[in-house]
Amino acid sequence: MAKTTKPELESTDLRNKLEDLSGIVIKPGDNPYDSLIKSCEGHAPMIQGLYSTHRIARNQQQKEKFLSPDFSGLLIDPVLLRLEKPDIEPGFRDPRNCLVFWACPPDHIIKLAAHIQRVLQQAAPNLWLMPTHRMHLTTLEIAHSRTPFEIASMVDLMRPNIPSLTNIPFVKRARLVKPFISYDLSAIAVSFLPAAGEAVLSPSPVAPHPEHIAHPGLSGNDTAENDSYTYHHLRRDVFDGARATGVEIGSRYVVPSAHITLARYLTQADHETPEQRQKWIQAIDDLNSWLSKEVWDVEGGKFIGEWIVGQERGLDVRMGPLWYGGGRTVMVGEGF
User: How high is the pLDDT of residue 30?
Assistant: 77
Q: How far apart are CA 207 and CA 287, in angstroms?
A: 35
pLDDT digits (tens, 9 = 90+) for 25-35: 666 667 889 98
What is the pLDDT of the chain when averaged over all its residues?
89
Using a 10 angstrom Cβ sphere, with 0-12 exposed, 13-18 middle and 19 or more buried, the burial of residue 110 is middle
Q: What is the Cα Rg of the chain in Å?
A: 20
Cβ proximity of 238 and 315 under 8 Å = yes
Provide the 3-class DSSP secondary structure of residue 6.
coil
User: Domain spans of the chain?
Assistant: 29-332
* Sign of the torsion angle spanned by Cα atoms 328, 92, 118, 294: positive
Residue 57 predicted with pLDDT over 70: yes
pLDDT digits (tens, 9 = 90+) for 75-110: 999 999 999 999 999 999 999 999 999 999 999 999
Q: How far apart are CA 224 and CA 126, in angstroms?
A: 40
Q: How far apart are CA 16 and CA 24, in angstroms?
A: 20
Q: How far apart are CA 275 and CA 149, in angstroms?
A: 48
Give buried/exposed letters for 118-148 (b at 16+ CB in 10 A, else e): eebbebbeebbbbeeeebbbbbbbbbbebee
Q: How far apart are CA 274 and CA 7, in angstroms?
A: 33
pLDDT tier at 125, thresholds 50, 70, 90? very high
- From the candidate CATH numbers 3.40.50.720, 3.90.1140.10, 3.40.50.960, 3.50.50.60, the one assigned to the domain spanning 29-332: 3.90.1140.10
Provide the 3-class DSSP secondary structure of residue 317.
strand
